[in-house]
Structure 1
Amino acid sequence: MQISVQMYSVREALAADFQGTVARLVELGLTHAEPYHLVEFRDELVQSRTQHAIDFPSAHQSFLGEVDFAEVLEAAQAVGVKYLVDPHWNPEDWTDAGKVRALAATLNQRAAAAADAEIRVGYHNHHFELVSQLEGRSALELFASELDPQVILEIDTYWAAVGGADIPTLLGTLGERVQLVHLKDGDLSTDPAAQLPLGEGKMPLAQTLEASAHVAYGVIEFDAYAGDMFEGIATSVAYLNSHAS
């Protein structure tokens, strides 16, 4: 598993100085990052690839609704993205099995459209997809069972735990479909401000990393953090480096 970082964590710094922020991530030893708002930041990301020793193998971009998907794919190709991930879908739809199946069908359609560009599409969970139980399993597991083989999942291990999932069991159930994991720590509440650097909270990280050994990228993320964000990321990088198998 290679280490990456979700750039949403440093969104305030990016807004002030995009290229300077990317340079700071590289200084922390990161060679991979996961952008958000891919289409919006397309040109800055293309520039980053030429100016800094970093690439963007995965990216977040909403594309399951009414969007110009050709534009999304063009941005992904320009930035070098291989895993294109929709980061969020309406929480209320995850309480209805029919809507979950319809969403999976839409994602399958996007996967077929992306195949010619050699891009795999996927979905990133929060906690509500695990809280919702449908037909004897979580809504996320029902969703996964409806997906074509080329579709991937990016499991946010922290939010899945907040939603009540046993992370090693969930990752084992979903298997090779999981190509990306978000790694974060904290008090396991729904309050993003309570998130902490890896190793400083209540997440079962050793078991999570063991169960994630097959994934392509482990993506450090903070939705929020009370301390210095770059120091928090540095601490998390050090934790992962010290626990590398």
Structure 2
Amino acid sequence: MRTRLSDPSRRGFLAAGAALAGAAMTGPAAAAQPFFKRVGLPIGIQLYTLGPDAAKDLDGTLAAVAAMGYRNVELAGFLGRKPVEMRAALDRAGLKCASAHVQARALGPDGGFDGDLDKLAEGLAAVGAVNAVMPSPRIPDRLAGRPAEGESIGDFYRRVTGALTLHDWQMNAAFLNEKGAVLKKAGIRIGYHNHNFEFRPLSGNSGGETTGMEVLLKETDPDVVTFEIDVGWVAAAGLDPIALMQKHKGRFTMMHVKDLKAGTEPNFALSMQPTEIGSGKLDWKRLLPAAYAAGVRGFYVEQEPPFERPRIEAAKINHDFLAGVTA
């Protein structure tokens, strides 16, 4: 005669089985899974990685990106398209866009945070973006202008960002709070993306030395402003991105996944030796789970020029490496 479990006993048996299954999923078997599969997040790409070709052949570029296995893209503007046109191109490729970079000052038809925020929010919503990330600080009027004769755009930008003061960074924090409060009402979260100049020590203030990044993290409202950590630029500043995220747990919700060669000298002047992810100095087996534990949920590949191979090939190398990382 078969003994039938009573309802309470049966529930206990099933609960125990579920607990064992859950333990298996968080034990060695789960750790052996590729990171992105384990956490159930897609690998995204910032389209800046692909350079001018993305704008010249948008459908072809997006189709190639999707074929590599990318599922999310982060926009650097609308690439000369209307938002509805961009959304249609993304849909044709089977891609989603949850984030877009938006300049502080209006640049061309894509606008900026100092432009019409209602129109900006409408455009972002049309492509599906819920994050609007300021990719660099708002340069104060006294420093804005054009490169001097013979000065490259890069040198111009190094000069003006190197001249930013404590007051300028406080102005940027206030700017993010102000614009973020407006965009939040439209369902858009504002963010800030770092380079390495944000970590330059600022002197001459009553609190001793601080940095632009510390000012932004301290003086922005966590309910309004988030951050996109560019781990390559953090490392280029000679700092540990894991320590930064752990110190400010919950503030960084997006990441630019970027690698750099070991020969990069620590600096605060927009200098690095870029390379494909997995070919550089960063320890991705530690970095990816640490980022997830600190609150990062949007991961976007971004590679800086110069490239040693065609950009589209580099994008595939980056994706394939990340897809295989077990952590």
* Structure 2 length-normalised TM: 0.69
User: CA contact under 8 A between 1:38 and 1:61: conserved in structure 2?
Assistant: no
Amino acid at match of 1:243: V
Of all paired residues, the percent bearing the same amino acid is: 25
Alignment equivalent of 1:146, drawn from 219, 225, 236: 219
1:94, distance to aligned residue in structure 2 (A):
7.1
Question: How much does 1:102 deviate?
Answer: 1.5
The residue type paired with residue 119 of structure 2 is E
Q: CA deviation at 1:35?
A: 0.6
Give me the whole-angstrom Cα distance separating, in 2, the residues matched to 1:138 and 1:170: 13
Q: Compute the displacement of 1:244 (Å).
A: 4.5
- Provide the residue aligned with 2:13 in structure 1: none
Report the residue type matching 1:230 in the other structure: I
C-alpha spacing 1:68/1:32, structure 2 compared with 1 (3 Å): same
Cα RMSD (Å): 2.1
Q: Does 1:114 align with 2:192?
A: no
Is the alpha carbon distance of 1:79 and 1:94 closer, same or farther for their aligned partners in structure 2, counting shifts above 3 Å?
farther
Contact 2:117 2:183 in 1 (8 A): no
How far the C-alpha of 1:92 sits from its partner, in A, is 3.3
Give the match for residue 78 of structure 1: 126
Unaligned residue ranges in structure 2 (runs of 5+): 1-40, 106-112, 140-159
Q: TM-score, normalised by structure 1?
A: 0.91
Q: Aligned with 1:57: secondary structure?
A: strand
Structure having the higher Rg: 2
Query: Is it true that 1:123 corresponds to 2:192 in the alignment?
Result: yes
Q: 1:168 to 1:177 in 2, by over 3 A?
A: same
Contact kept in structure 2, 1:186 and 1:202, CA below 8 Å: yes
Deviations 1:201-228 (A, max 9, x none): 1223333223211311111011212212
- 3-state DSSP class of the match of 1:176? coil
Contact persistence 1:94–1:132 (CA under 8 A): no
1:114-164 residue CA offsets vs partner (Å, 9 max, x unmatched): 112211001101110012346444320221111111210001110111112
Inter-CA distance 195–46: structure 2 relative to 1 (3 Å threshold): same
Pair 1:241-2:305 in alignment: no
- Cα distance in 2, alignment partners of residues 228 and 39 from structure 1: 20
User: What residue in structure 1 maps to residue 296 of structure 2?
Assistant: 215
5+ long unaligned stretches in structure 1: none
The answer to whether 1:13 aligns with 2:34 is no
Deviates more, 1:28-37 or 1:38-47: 38-47
* Counterpart-to-counterpart distance in 2, 1:66 and 1:233: 33
**Does structure 1 residue 27 correspond to structure 2 residue 67?**
yes
Does structure 1 conserve the Cα–Cα contact (< 8 Å) formed by 2:87 and 2:126? Answer: yes
Deviation, structure 1 residue 191: 4.5
Q: How many residues align?
A: 244
Residues of 2 paired with 1:138 and 1:98: CA distance?
11
